[in-house]
Structure 1
């Protein structure tokens, strides 16, 4: 493994070892607290433009395989770990994590004190960083980083969204037989707007009897409204995705038209945030966001606690309570995790009920959407 040099916008300069692609990448650094599922995390499109610091110190043990891909490719800039395991051992493995990262042009950085780095991010908040296998001085790295855009200035959605319409037909992965399960009888067709949708979200929609037609982010609401009025579709799903939702002005304009048409809508993560903005309530950025598979969320309707998978840097404001019922709250920081709009057939959650990786105990929300339709 060759040397790799890392510089953060707060002035921190580190030297590690590279086990992924060569080159120089710039992005925002966040930390993830999940203990398993590194390939699903790396291939989550919501990490586009970001470096992922794993709190789990050992990475690479189970290699990688095509079944654990959550999108067609990986969109993150790189990953940072305490120790990379060159030797991998799992009967599902097809290649090493290092080989996978190189094929995806993603930096792999190891021999870093991730405990100290995560404390720095926790105290200073998410920040921009640069990592390079060819630039070795802090001065040169700082200069190149200072000339780059902040992540909130970059529209990442066109990169991760589908370019053409398609119908998703796979159901959830059957871990008993290690293959995708047969989809149940389709009862209702829906539109799924792809802002960077994870594959398992679409799988979960199919698993409850829905047939999602996946469409690009730059959709025209009038076409969807016509399909809804004709009975061709029964509702709309708004997916997760990367970046600052306030940048997506055209998408918000189209979502407003869907709201006005009283179409049933379910939103997850970015979709949840865009629905808030479309209703007139702007999002704000959290200090270091929620990234991991161990976040406790309270269901305020059932008074039960769910352990959830999360990946977001933004949150909707408390003022939305004027038009929506708050249904879920994060027990770490009290932020809103779910709402149901009072005068519309619309509900949304900030966390990821489809998991992959993470707990599956919130998957009933997909059935809730199907029942509402």
Structure 2
């Protein structure tokens, strides 16, 4: 393995080994506590612009395969692992993680103390970093990092959103038969606004009986309002995605028009945040974010505790209770995880009910969207 040199904006300088693509890359470093699903994480568009530090020490054991892709490519800047395992063993595997990263031009970093990095991020918060398999000089790396834009200055949505409209027809994935289930009969139809949507979100929407058409982030609200009036759609879904939601000014203006038109809407993660901003309540950045598959969330209506998959650095403010009821609460830090707006057929969640990876205890939320749209026909 080649050597790789890492410089973090707090002045930490480290040396490790690299696998995957050779490169010099700048991004934000975060940590993820999921025990499995490294391919789904790396192919999740929400991780665009970030280095993902895995707390699970052994990575690469099961290789990679096309079925586990959450999008068409790998979007994270890089992955940081304690030990990379080049010899994979799984009957579904098609190639190694190393070759997967090379194919998608993503850097892998290994033979590094990920516990040390995680504790640092927990104490100091997420930060920018640079990693290079080409440059070993600390001062040069520091200079490049300081002259590079920060993640909150970049509109990654323009990179990850679809460029053309398409229909998604695959249903949910069967873990017992290892294939996609046949889609049920369509009960309602929606437009999915793609800010970096995961494949399994689309699968879950179809699996709930929803006809899905995916549209780019540069959508025109008036077109959707007209489609809703003509009953060619029953609602709008706002997807997950990467980066700071406050950057997305054009999208916010269009969402405000959809809110005024009282179209039934459902948002996940970035979509949840954009709904808050579009209602006049700006988001804030968490210290180190929520990334993993083991976050307990309380359903405020049922009182049940759901273990959820999470991936976000930003959160909605507490004073949004002026216009919305809290439906879900994060039990790690009591931040808001779900909202139902009081005067509109709109709701949203911060966590990922589709999982991939992670538990699926919140998957019922997709059926709630169907119910909402039927009630507002």
Q: Give TM class, smaller chain.
A: over 0.9
Deviations 1:178-223 (A, max 9, x none): 1111100111110000000000000000001101110000100000
Partner residue in 2 for 1:281: 281
Question: How many pairs does the alignment contain?
Answer: 373
Partner residue in 1 for 2:198: 198
What SS does structure 2 have at the residue aligned with 1:368? Answer: helix
Q: In the TM superposition, what is the alpha-carbon distance from 1:137 to its structure 2 partner? A: 1.4
Deviations 1:275-307 (A, max 9, x none): 000000000000000000000000111111000
Separation in 2 of the partners of 1:185 and 1:25? Answer: 46
Partner residue in 1 for 2:316: 316
Separation in 2 of the partners of 1:335 and 1:361? Answer: 19
Partner residue in 2 for 1:23: 23
Mind listing any 5+ residue stretches in structure 2 that lack a counterpart?
none
Partner residue in 2 for 1:103: 103
Superposition map of 1:262-341 within 5 A: 262-341=262-341
Q: In the TM superposition, what is the alpha-carbon distance from 1:116 to its structure 2 partner? A: 0.6
The reply to whether residue 345 of structure 1 matches residue 345 of structure 2 is: yes
Q: In the TM superposition, what is the alpha-carbon distance from 1:317 to its structure 2 partner? A: 0.3
Partner residue in 2 for 1:14: 14
Partner residue in 2 for 1:64: 64
Separation in 1 of the partners of 2:341 and 2:175? Answer: 36
Separation in 2 of the partners of 1:100 and 1:65? Answer: 9
Partner residue in 1 for 2:86: 86
Partner residue in 1 for 2:187: 187
Separation in 2 of the partners of 1:37 and 1:98? Answer: 15
Q: In the TM superposition, what is the alpha-carbon distance from 1:175 to its structure 2 partner? A: 1.4
Separation in 2 of the partners of 1:325 and 1:139? Answer: 50
Give the RMSD, CA atoms, in angstroms: 0.5
Mind listing any 5+ residue stretches in structure 1 that lack a counterpart?
none
The reply to whether residue 173 of structure 1 matches residue 179 of structure 2 is: no
Partner residue in 1 for 2:259: 259
Partner residue in 1 for 2:158: 158
Q: Which segments of structure 1 move beyond 6 Å, counting only runs of 4 or more? A: none
Q: In the TM superposition, what is the alpha-carbon distance from 1:176 to its structure 2 partner? A: 1.3
What SS does structure 1 have at the residue aligned with 2:211? Answer: strand
Separation in 1 of the partners of 2:64 and 2:17? Answer: 20
What SS does structure 2 have at the residue aligned with 1:282? Answer: coil
What SS does structure 1 have at the residue aligned with 2:274? Answer: helix
Deviations 1:315-367 (A, max 9, x none): 00011000000111100001000000000000000000000000001000000
The reply to whether residue 147 of structure 1 matches residue 154 of structure 2 is: no
Partner residue in 2 for 1:365: 365
What SS does structure 1 have at the residue aligned with 2:347? Answer: strand
Q: In the TM superposition, what is the alpha-carbon distance from 1:165 to its structure 2 partner? A: 0.3
Partner residue in 2 for 1:120: 120
Superposition map of 1:180-259 within 5 A: 180-259=180-259
Partner residue in 2 for 1:5: 5
TM-score by length of 1: 1.00
Separation in 1 of the partners of 2:312 and 2:226? Answer: 33
TM-score by length of 2: 0.99
Q: In the TM superposition, what is the alpha-carbon distance from 1:371 to its structure 2 partner? A: 1.1
Deviations 1:35-94 (A, max 9, x none): 011000111100000000000000000000000000011111000000000100000000
